[in-house]
Structure 1
Amino acid sequence: MRLKPIVIFGVFFILSAVQLKAQSNYQSDYLSGKNYFRAGEYQRAQNHFKKLLDINENNPFYLYATYFYGLSAYESGDVALGMEALRGILATHPEWDNIEEVKVWYGKMLLEEGDLFKGIELLNDVKSDDVKAIANDLKKGLLSRYDSIPELQKAIELNPYDKILAQHLANRISRQPLVERKVELMEFLIDSFDLNKSGFDYIDESVSQKKDVYRVGVMLPFMAEGLSTSKGNKGNQFILDIYQGISQAVLELNKEEKRIELYAYDTQQDSAATAELLASGDLLQMDMIIGPLYPDPAKLVREYSGANRINMVNPLSTNSVTIGTNPYSFLMKSTPETRAKIAAQYAVKHYENKNATIFYGDKEQDSVFAYSYKSLLEADSFNISWMAASRSPMASTEILRSLTEVFETDTLPDSDKVYISNTVKVKVGEEDSLILSRDTLGHIMVASSDNLLVSNVLSALDTRRDSIPVIAFDDLLEMNQISFDQLQRMKVVMIGQNYFDFSSPKVAEFKENYRKTYNKLPSQYSYDGYETMRYFGEQLIEYGNYFQYGIYKEGFQPGYLYFGFDYTNANDNQVVPITTMESLELKLLNYENVEDKPSEFKE
């Protein structure tokens, strides 16, 4: 009987020795795995940690090993395995002492793999101050992978107190082209999170200088050395017309007292000449620059304007590239993106049929308008049933043919087979069946100033006689092939750039004053130059050299010759008149009560 305790003790001793040896092996594998992990040999580290993944009372390294096993697998390229390991710890051991580090690593993995919402949520769930600092540094670095404004906007809605996320979203917005920039959202983020305004070219009343006299530099290709003294139109007559219009506006702005000084600079339509002008330093004394007109000199001045914070205005361009991301660059006219936005708002409001057809021409701005219009309609659940470019007379003719194509059916006697033949009709009758029905086409947008395309589309729709709604550019008012009567009969809706009433007293007064000064009548370029200087000169006088802080919030302002201006949070003119023909006169459709509201479609 005395042998029994001895036997039991012996068994206990043996078991203890086995346990100690097992623990020793676990510890050895764990330490080896960590050494390999530190050395960046993740596959070998993973192999050692894998031996420690069994749960038993002799393995005190199970959670640590699982954690490092997941990290090693992830770093070795086995993303799914690595994320699964950490996800398991979060689910089964949420109270583990090192759970904060697991959150950081798993949040990092989620962000690296494209899961913005869950990644941000996990990193924001870290409570420890020390680990929180690491999580924030990771977040700052990894957010650079995300540039979708809608996605980031959704993320800030889910995490309304995340300043790092707000800073990144504001930065992304500030780098957008100005025609796409969500200025109100950016300003909300800057104010709500007390972000540093200097990093966003944020302009308010405090930075704008009010002066007695403002200097305006006019940078145009005068080509002074090649000017002829002979009478008649010069080779660069339109440039002279712009400048004379500008000069006429300055005369009137200075009528009571001198407020504007004008300085002319000849860019010679040449980048080298423009660069030399900029290098001279003279432009640094300007409060505003008008021009240049051509792309290469304009690009140089745009960069100069942005770097030196000098406002510049282009009197002719409608290209959003002219603005780019420079908050100091303005257009007197509207970009295709802006006109497409206003046109889409009109279509959404007035057309119940959610189908639409878009034809566009071969110019770059035609396609910019067309695809902007398409995107905006699709965002409002429209279906684009047909979209086609017309880059040749043949393509335009094919559109005409397709719009007027009908089918005729012939059922053979004693047979249920139906044979269909396609024909193109000169005039579609009530008995004809069109291949493309009115419901299928919806309304038609003709985004082009091409005479042939516009006239072919209108001719085809006249032939169909099914009253499909049409929207087109108001350039067709200048097309000889299209009569005002046809526009009125077809109820064509026209998207304008800006316009003025030639019969108004103000226009008559300007023409008379211009004739007295220059002994000739103004051209369209004279009007453009005059209205640019008149409007922006008044803004200089009213708000100072950084007038944008005022016009961004001013809303609609009547023009002097033109219908009006609106730069609400924008650097191109947001006034886009929509007209139709009634009683053979143009009728405004979207500015019914200018005194009360800028536009019924205004956002």
Structure 2
Amino acid sequence: MKIFLNRHRPVVGLILCLLWQPSYGQTSGDANERRYKAAVRLVQTGQYDQAKKELQSLMDRSNRLAPYAYYYYAVAAFRQKNYGQARNMLKQVIDRFPDWQKMEDAYYLYASAAMEAGQYEDALSYLSRISDASLRNDVDKLERHFFGQITDLRQLKQLQREFPENRNLALALVSLIQRTSSDKADLELSDRLTNRFGVPGTTGSGQTAAAVRTERNRNKGYFNVAVLFPFRIDEFDANRRARTNQYAIDLYNGIQMAKAKLQSEGITVNVFAYDLDNDAEKARELITNPGFAQSDLVIGPLYAEPNKVVTSFAGENGMVLVNPLATSSDLIQEQPLAFLAQPSLEKQADKTLAFVRSLGVSRKAAIYYGSSRKDSTLASLYETRLREAGFQVIDRKKLSGTAESMAAIMRISELNKPDHVFFSSSSDDDGSRFLAALSRLRITAPVIVTASAFDMYKNSSSTFGRRELYLLYPDYVDFSREQVDQFQEAYLGRRNIIPSVFTFQGYDMMLFFGRQLAKNGPQIQRRTTLRAEGDDYLLSGFDYRNSNENEIVPIVKFNDGRFIKVN
């Protein structure tokens, strides 16, 4: 086997030296020993046919050298690339001399010959018999070399099903899937194997974190991306269309689409998915995985407690970490390589105030919010910004229920009119009811509402066109753009479903940070480059020039049958 004969431990070179030791044949001065040693010397010098003749004469003799003679006959045949003959000789050693003390060397050589002949199942069955720790490194090299040469995905999947505990086989399959397949079932298989065995390129649990970090920081020509989402693979049911974690699957599918786009630009990213739910203990287990330690970019986790564990580890090890959905700036405090893909609630409040000022309205405002904590937090932050800017907040209430009940709670009227109204809600039923409540109170001032208060598919266009209404819309997608239309068509062709906004988010996030890794290196040090807008992105882009949270906060207005950005 060429790779080992030239670069690593030879398949038989070291074994030749070991088996030469007198302790394996105490017949000093005996003619058989002299013949045996001469035959081994012939093998060492490449005179294989002559060596075979000498060794064959020793096979029928009842002496302690017989198993060695069979073995070196197999060595000679192997070096002549007569792998069938080599295996036949080794089988005879194994069958005739079951107590031979060097039997595991015979297993290894047999497996090498079987690998060369493409008989992988046969090879693996013999490798599985090896328990000698000193051979473990050679077995790993043998497996990695041959499994890495298999290009038939079906064959590799079948092998992995037959030998599910073999790590090298699992990693070879992950690598082949990542390079060649876009099939959903294949990607899910890759995710499961990655969760269990790590990522290709690692050597297992014995490798230190420092060694992995050194390897990761080299210019590899590719970047490893770890995606830490609650995939809940154990609960996966292909027949269920509505899943509680569908958003995570959509995000991941968008990331995969961006991976293909980056590859077309000459940027290679290897995406490895880890199934991580709201479990801090599993997060602590994950950060000890040498495969995970090779990550250049981490996307997730999506829950607070595991996020703390992973963010700390990523910061200590120089990994870029992106929170795809979080809006809390606390997550990036004192973490120079942690980023929010979304603008924080503080940033949304700042941008809303800046927009209100651009309208030139007077300084009386009313603020309302829905039932979630996020709703009340954003309303509180906006109130603070208004008061700091000299505005008067004449009413601030939590609203729920029907339009009538909302109107009954509000303390505004034609006599106590605000100059603008702000409403934050995460319930897509609240928006239309809130507008109806304002109409009941005959309030015509400009209104700013979070887009999450509306169901964009259920609410008619008249909902948005009857008054001076602006939507605070971080996830705004302009569906009239050709780039968006092309993406939807490509995604529909690949997944047979229409992409969700989470798909768009996953795509944009991976595309932006993948380009930044290629441009800036793993630590993304040049702050001036951390901005991207325009036709390349499906949403509104990213801007991290001044902080580690996205400072682009779209505010839109309905005009001529569609929403357009006004800020």
| Letter aligned with residue 259 of structure 2 | V
Q: Tell whether 2:383 aligns with 1:374.
A: yes
Distance in 2 between residues matched to 1:239 and 1:402, nearest whole Å: 37
Q: Do the aligned partners of residues 380 and 215 (structure 1) sit closer, same or farther apart at CA in structure 2, a change above 3 Å counting?
A: same
1:401 alignment counterpart:
408
1:570 alignment counterpart:
547
Distance in 2 between residues matched to 1:458 and 1:305, nearest whole Å: 45
Instruction: Answer yes or no: is the 8 Å Cα contact 1:348–1:377 preserved in 2.
Output: no
Residues matched between the structures, number: 351
Distance in 2 between residues matched to 1:402 and 1:436, nearest whole Å: 16
Q: Do the aligned partners of residues 541 and 281 (structure 1) sit closer, same or farther apart at CA in structure 2, a change above 3 Å counting?
A: same
2:302 to 289, 293, 296: 293
Deviation at 1:312, TM superposition (A): 0.7
Q: Tell whether 2:465 aligns with 1:488.
A: yes
**1:222-251 alpha-carbon deviations (Å, 9 max, x no partner):** 233443465756664433322222112111
2:515 alignment counterpart:
538
1:318 alignment counterpart:
327
Q: Do the aligned partners of residues 557 and 287 (structure 1) sit closer, same or farther apart at CA in structure 2, a change above 3 Å counting?
A: farther
**1:505-534 alpha-carbon deviations (Å, 9 max, x no partner):** 222222233234334432332222212111
Instruction: Answer yes or no: is the 8 Å Cα contact 1:209–1:544 preserved in 2.
Output: no
1:472 alignment counterpart:
449
CA RMSD of aligned residues (A): 2.9
Deviation at 1:463, TM superposition (A): 2.7
Q: Do the aligned partners of residues 340 and 583 (structure 1) sit closer, same or farther apart at CA in structure 2, a change above 3 Å counting?
A: same
**1:270-322 alpha-carbon deviations (Å, 9 max, x no partner):** 22222111122333221110111122221211121222221111222223343
Q: TM-score, normalised by structure 1?
A: 0.53
Q: Do the aligned partners of residues 404 and 479 (structure 1) sit closer, same or farther apart at CA in structure 2, a change above 3 Å counting?
A: farther
Deviation at 1:455, TM superposition (A): 3.5
Instruction: Answer yes or no: is the 8 Å Cα contact 2:224–2:296 preserved in 1.
Output: yes
**3-state DSSP class of the match of 2:395?**
strand
**3-state DSSP class of the match of 1:490?**
coil
Distance in 2 between residues matched to 1:465 and 1:536, nearest whole Å: 47
1:437 to 390, 409, 416: 416
2:438 to 461, 468, 472: 461
Q: Do the aligned partners of residues 372 and 508 (structure 1) sit closer, same or farther apart at CA in structure 2, a change above 3 Å counting?
A: same
Q: Do the aligned partners of residues 476 and 332 (structure 1) sit closer, same or farther apart at CA in structure 2, a change above 3 Å counting?
A: same
1:116 alignment counterpart:
none
1:523 alignment counterpart:
500
Deviation at 1:382, TM superposition (A): 0.9
Per chain length, whose mean CA-contact separation is higher, i.e. which structure has more relative contact order (CA < 8 Å, sep 6+)? 1
Instruction: Answer yes or no: is the 8 Å Cα contact 2:427–2:454 preserved in 1.
Output: no
Deviation at 1:329, TM superposition (A): 1.5
- Among the aligned pairs, what percent are the same residue? 29
Instruction: Answer yes or no: is the 8 Å Cα contact 2:427–2:452 preserved in 1.
Output: no
Deviation at 1:555, TM superposition (A): 6.9
**Aligned runs of 1:261-276 on 2, under 5 Å?**
261-276=270-285
Question: Mind listing any 5+ residue stretches in structure 1 that lack a counterpart?
Answer: 1-207, 406-433, 591-603
1:212 to 208, 221, 239: 221
2:565 alignment counterpart:
588
Deviation at 1:209, TM superposition (A): 7.9
| Letter aligned with residue 393 of structure 1 | G
Q: TM-score, normalised by structure 2?
A: 0.56
**1:353-411 alpha-carbon deviations (Å, 9 max, x no partner):** 21111111222221221122112111221111111123x538x7554025588xxxxxx
Instruction: Answer yes or no: is the 8 Å Cα contact 2:258–2:510 preserved in 1.
Output: yes
**3-state DSSP class of the match of 2:287?**
helix
**Aligned runs of 1:342-421 on 2, under 5 Å?**
342-390=351-399, 392-393=400-401, 397=404, 399-401=406-408, 403=410
**1:140-189 alpha-carbon deviations (Å, 9 max, x no partner):** xxxxxxxxxxxxxxxxxxxxxxxxxxxxxxxxxxxxxxxxxxxxxxxxxx
| Letter aligned with residue 221 of structure 2 | D
**3-state DSSP class of the match of 1:493?**
strand
Q: Do the aligned partners of residues 258 and 462 (structure 1) sit closer, same or farther apart at CA in structure 2, a change above 3 Å counting?
A: closer
**3-state DSSP class of the match of 2:336?**
coil
2:345 alignment counterpart:
336
Distance in 1 between residues matched to 2:252 and 2:521, nearest whole Å: 23
| Letter aligned with residue 345 of structure 1 | A
**1:412-451 alpha-carbon deviations (Å, 9 max, x no partner):** xxxxxxxxxxxxxxxxxxxxxx57422xx23111122335
**Aligned runs of 1:225-236 on 2, under 5 Å?**
225-228=234-237, 236=245
**3-state DSSP class of the match of 2:471?**
strand
Instruction: Answer yes or no: is the 8 Å Cα contact 1:566–1:573 preserved in 2.
Output: yes
**3-state DSSP class of the match of 2:480?**
coil
Question: Mind listing any 5+ residue stretches in structure 2 that lack a counterpart?
Answer: 1-216
